[in-house]
Amino acid sequence: MILLDIKNLTLEIESQSGWIKALDKINLVITEGQIHALVGESGSGKSIIVKAIVGAISDRWRITADRMTWRGQDLLKMSVRERRKIIRSDISVIFQNPKSSLDPIVTLGNQLKEVILATNLEKGMFWNRAKQRKKYASELLHRVGIKHHEAYMRSLPHQIPNDICQKFMIAMALASQPKLIIADDPTRGMEITDKSQILKLLTRVNQVRKLSILFVSHDLLAISSMADHMTVLYCGQTVESGRMNQLRRRALHPYTKALLESAPSFRTDLPPKSPLSSLGGTIPTFQHLPIGCRLGPRCPRARRECVKVPEVRRIHEHTYSCHFPLHRDQK
């Protein structure tokens, strides 16, 4: 079943030099039970997409889409209140910096209990509520693998290590029993053993609870170890999307290929200290976005046609937007 279906989402932000398309016809489809990676470099618009999904966008931004539905319901036609209600019960978001998204002066235990909705508790007399909340809270913490949770419940966010904090965020995200968890760069800056614990935890909640995860990151190693689908963004445009193994085996878009090749861990044939393959140039600033395919100035395959935005093309589940995709060479 399709949970989230976004077609041609465009979001414009006003700047000194006029309206800029921060997102340019983004497509994203997430089905039930999927771990979907949203990959893109800094500033490519990942967090803005997350904001657009949960409706946390400024009034001054112009947002349009051909389609934006959550389990068949049109999110764009809904009132803010209706939308909030759906988001609150169905979607949980984990942000990239756990410490700054937690309240610094409230104990972790109280913050966790606060997000446990009354509907998540068994029916019972109201005087049992506090006890039930506490029980449910410790269950959640147990589920995310936090030991000694009593002590942590009494702590403030800054008193505990980062990875425990992130586990707390995940526990809070699970509290409302959502259908989709959006994790915006949850392992940024983590040491590898902590990171792999968080990834395993997310994989486990996905498998055990059939929960979908939108995993936002540019950590390709983390992504490829857990995600089954991947959507690649470049400068606010979706360049390619499909099954993870398909993209890894045969990327069609030059950017996806460059991205995959930039991670030395994927390349078993790479001699130590040899130059890593990389695209020249830098990510353009938002004030100087190239017209047409935004990869143009950095793309080794670019030709004159590329000043027009390429249409989305599809081969089965695999979609890409490029005038001269990599499989064309073989013909």
* Shortest separation between residue 303's beta carbon and ligand SF4, angstroms: 7
In degrees and rounded to multiples of 5, residue 146 shows phi and psi of -95, 120
Q: Choose which of 7, 8, 13, 47 interacts with Mg ion (CB under 5 A).
A: 47
> Whose Cβ is closer to Mg ion: residue 40's or residue 254's?
40
Residues 272-331, interacting with ligand ATP (CB under 6 A): 286
> Taking CB under 5 A as the rule, which mask of x and - marks residues 289-328 in contact with Mg ion?
----------------------------------------
* Shortest separation between residue 115's beta carbon and Mg ion, angstroms: 22
DSSP character string of 107-141 = -HHHHHHHHS-GGGSPS--GGGHHHHHHHHHHHHH
Q: Per rule CB under 8 A, is residue 29 in the interface with other proteins?
A: no
Question: Cβ contacts of residue 316 below 8 Å, gap of 6+?
Answer: none
Q: Per rule CB under 8 A, is residue 100 in the interface with other proteins?
A: no
> Whose Cβ is closer to other proteins: residue 115's or residue 289's?
289
Q: Per rule CB under 6 A, is residue 45 in the interface with ligand ATP?
A: yes
Q: Per rule CB under 6 A, is residue 187 in the interface with ligand ATP?
A: no
Q: Per rule CB under 6 A, is residue 322 in the interface with ligand SF4?
A: yes
**217 beta partners:** 39
Question: Cβ contacts of residue 256 below 8 Å, gap of 6+?
Answer: 232, 239, 240, 247, 320
> What is the CB neighbour count within 10 angstroms for residue 205?
18
- Mode of pairing for the β-strands spanning 229-234 and 237-243: antiparallel
SS3 307: helix
For CA atoms 47, 52, 54, 57, the dihedral sign is: positive
Q: Choose which of 106, 135, 266, 327 interacts with other proteins (CB under 8 A).
A: 266
* Shortest separation between residue 96's beta carbon and other proteins, angstroms: 11
Give residues in contact with Mg ion (CB under 5 A): 47
Give residues in contact with ligand SF4 (CB under 6 A): 254, 293, 295-296, 299, 301-302, 306, 310, 322-324
